[in-house]
């Protein structure tokens, strides 16, 4: 639950007084900025843990511009990461008002100016610690009125979302089956067409617009058989109207021809894996020739390709497919973060990947394991979309299995709403993605 607070910002504004001026010329010493940062860190820790915590270390401190008595300083702290007991925080202090008394001999000593732009005066990254025994749970105890879901804390500023996509609906994808998961790991993995369809419908009710679909035999073996996909798709269609996105990734070791099997069902969407990666201890092979073959097969099936990018270079590969005319704008990117052997699920990697997305494209995050909640929530704060579900993560919280993918979708939907973004229904998602609507029978 705490991870939902990553990206939370708190702020304070303070006038520097004559008491703060330590050096000649009314200069305020840098330690004063650090005292502000300390207070901000304390507020963040109280909001997160219900405890003031301890400041352990600064990794970086920079004093960028001088501060004088009479200046108004606005300082912010943003929660970057949460460890078991450690919390990493980014601090910034800006001067927003400054004394004007030095301006000329006849300027009155009480004259002051609002700066046209806030001026950065200091910044730092610091780490605080709250010992496990002092972390108070549940948060409602010390954050009264906070909804049970991961809403931003009252009074806290949440990282601003991109203005272009501000308030745009969130497309939630549910990855409900996967290829790597077994019943031994979770009894909630659906296998039969009926089980998969029931789970798809639950996810739709919880806020999902897209079902990312792998299929299995009743015994749990992976298959890309068009017949099995057709059976499962028919069962899903009988229960809900989600966009069905068939996997063309299948399972590691399958040939590219085998992986293309579900395209015979003419799905509305299909994944297009944009490069080879180490996939845990296996290799998930997507040669440049394979990618092009699959892109053509997806186009022939009339499906919208979702561009699965597991590494930075995969984004460029997708863009070259567009240049070659194999896929067309608007592109739909999915950043798959945290596969062992590929790009890690971290705030900075997501920021970088997002910077590569061309204007007009959509993007989302599918993050593995424990990173699923914090990284999909960050994606939603940044204006992106999110994929959750058992394929990528089987836990609701440490040691607590999710009872299917629907609870994970419901949690993501609650978070989206708390940000002021509605989970798109399938029809809205079709419009946003540019997926051609299907008729009642599922044909297109
Ligand atoms: N099972 C992975 C090897 C996709 O669905 O397109 C590939 C995968 C990607 O799941
Ligand atoms: Zn998949």
Q: Would the CB of 356 count as within 6 Å of ligand 1? A: no
Span 275-308, pLDDT tens digits: 999 999 999 999 999 999 999 999 999 999 999 9
Q: What are phi and psi of 271, to 5 degrees?
A: -75, 150
Kindly report whether the global pTM for this prediction surpasses the value 0.85.
Answer: no
* Residue located nearest, by CA, to atom 10 of ligand 1: 249
Q: What are phi and psi of 410, to 5 degrees?
A: -60, -40
Q: Would the CB of 68 count as within 6 Å of ligand 1? A: no
pLDDT the model gives residue 141: 33
* Residue located nearest, by CA, to atom 1 of ligand 1: 251
Q: Residues 37-51: what's their mean pLDDT?
A: 94
Burial class, 28, CB count within 10 angstroms (exposed 0-12 / middle 13-18 / buried 19+)? buried
Ligand 1 centroid–CA 255 distance in Å is 13
Q: Is the pLDDT of residue 216 over 50?
A: yes
pLDDT the model gives residue 138: 40
The answer to whether 298 and 318 have CB atoms below 8 angstroms apart is no
Helix, strand or coil for residue 202?
A: helix
Which numbered atom of ligand 1 lies nearest the CA of 272? 6
| Cα distance between residue 162 and residue 380, in whole Å | 10
Q: What is the mean pLDDT of the chain?
A: 90
The answer to whether 369 and 392 have CB atoms below 8 angstroms apart is yes
DSSP state of 423: B
Q: Would the CB of 372 count as within 6 Å of ligand 1? A: no
pLDDT the model gives residue 3: 64
Q: Would the CB of 310 count as within 6 Å of ligand 1? A: no
| Cα distance between residue 232 and residue 388, in whole Å | 20
Q: Would the CB of 248 count as within 6 Å of ligand 1? A: yes
Which numbered atom of ligand 1 lies nearest the CA of 336? 9
Span 219-238, pLDDT tens digits: 999 999 999 999 999 999 99
| Cα distance between residue 7 and residue 28, in whole Å | 30
Give 51's pLDDT tier (boundaries 50, 70, 90). very high
Pairing of strands 362-367, 157-158: unpaired
| Cα distance between residue 24 and residue 211, in whole Å | 66
Span 383-400, pLDDT tens digits: 999 999 999 999 999 999
DSSP state of 422: P
The answer to whether 226 and 266 have CB atoms below 8 angstroms apart is no
- Residues 199-233 as b/e (b if ≥16 CB within 10 A, e otherwise) read bbbbbbebbbbbbbbbbbeeeeebbbebebbebbb
How many Cβ atoms from other residues are within 10 Å of residue 134's Cβ?
15
Give 144's pLDDT tier (boundaries 50, 70, 90). very low
| Cα distance between residue 147 and residue 414, in whole Å | 10
Q: Would the CB of 308 count as within 6 Å of ligand 1? A: yes
pLDDT the model gives residue 2: 64
Span 324-333, pLDDT tens digits: 999 999 999 9
* Residue located nearest, by CA, to atom 7 of ligand 1: 249
Q: Would the CB of 284 count as within 6 Å of ligand 1? A: yes
pLDDT the model gives residue 166: 39
Strand partners, 76: 11, 92
Q: Would the CB of 223 count as within 6 Å of ligand 1? A: no
Ligand 2 centroid–CA 7 distance in Å is 28
Q: Would the CB of 176 count as within 6 Å of ligand 1? A: no
Question: What is the H or E stretch that residue 280 is in?
Answer: none
Q: Which of 87-91, 192-196, 402-406 comes out lowest in average pLDDT?
A: 87-91
Q: Which residues surround ligand 2, an ion (CB under 5 A)?
A: 247
Q: Which residue has the higher pLDDT, 274 or 147?
A: 274
Ligand 1 centroid–CA 362 distance in Å is 20
């Amino acid at each position: 639950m705490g991870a939902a607070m990553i990206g939370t910002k708190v702020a304070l504004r303070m006038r520097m007084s004559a008491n703060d001026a330590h050096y000649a010329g009314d200069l305020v010493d840098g330690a004063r900025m650090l005292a502000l940062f300390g207070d901000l860190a304390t507020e963040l820790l109280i909001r997160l843990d219900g405890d003031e915590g301890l400041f352990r270390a600064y990794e970086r401190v920079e004093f960028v511009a001088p501060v004088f008595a009479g200046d108004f300083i606005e300082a912010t702290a943003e929660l970057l990461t949460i460890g078991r007991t450690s919390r990493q925080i980014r601090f910034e202090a800006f001067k927003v008002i400054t004394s004007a008394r030095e301006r000329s001999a006849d300027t009155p000593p009480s004259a002051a100016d609002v700066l046209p732009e806030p001026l950065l005066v200091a910044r730092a990254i610091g780490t605080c610690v709250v010992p496990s025994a002092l972390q108070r749970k549940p948060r409602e105890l010390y954050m009264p009125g906070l909804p049970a879901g991961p809403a931003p804390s009252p009074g806290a500023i949440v990282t601003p979302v991109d203005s272009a996509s501000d308030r745009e609906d969130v497309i939630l994808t549910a990855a409900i089956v996967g290829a790597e998961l077994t019943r031994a790991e979770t009894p909630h993995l659906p296998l039969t067409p009926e089980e998969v369809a029931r789970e798809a419908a639950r996810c739709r009710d919880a806020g999902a617009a897209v079902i990312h679909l792998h299929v299995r035999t009743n015994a749990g073996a992976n298959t890309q058989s068009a017949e099995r996909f057709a059976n499962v798709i028919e069962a899903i269609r009988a229960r809900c109207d989600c966009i069905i996105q068939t996997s063309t990734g299948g399972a590691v070791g399958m040939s590219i021809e085998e992986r293309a099997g579900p395209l015979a069902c003419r799905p509305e969407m299909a994944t297009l894996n944009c490069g080879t990666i180490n996939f845990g201890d296996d290799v998930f092979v997507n040669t440049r020739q394979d990618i092009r073959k699959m892109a053509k097969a997806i186009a022939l099936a009339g499906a919208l390709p979702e561009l699965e990018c597991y590494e930075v270079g995969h984004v460029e590969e997708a863009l070259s497919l567009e240049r070659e005319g194999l896929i067309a704008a608007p592109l739909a990117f999915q950043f798959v973060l945290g596969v062992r052997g590929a790009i890690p699920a971290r705030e900075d990697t997501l920021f970088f990947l997002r910077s590569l997305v061309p204007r007009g494209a959509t993007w989302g995050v599918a993050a593995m394991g424990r990173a699923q909640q914090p990284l999909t929530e960050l994606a939603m704060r940044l204006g992106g979309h999110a994929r959750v579900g058992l394929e990528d993560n089987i836990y609701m919280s440490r040691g607590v299995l999710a009872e299917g993918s629907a609870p994970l979708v419901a949690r993501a939907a609650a978070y989206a709403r708390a940000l002021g973004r509605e989970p798109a229904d399938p029809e809205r998602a079709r419009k946003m993605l540019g997926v051609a609507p299907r008729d009642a029978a599922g044909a297109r």
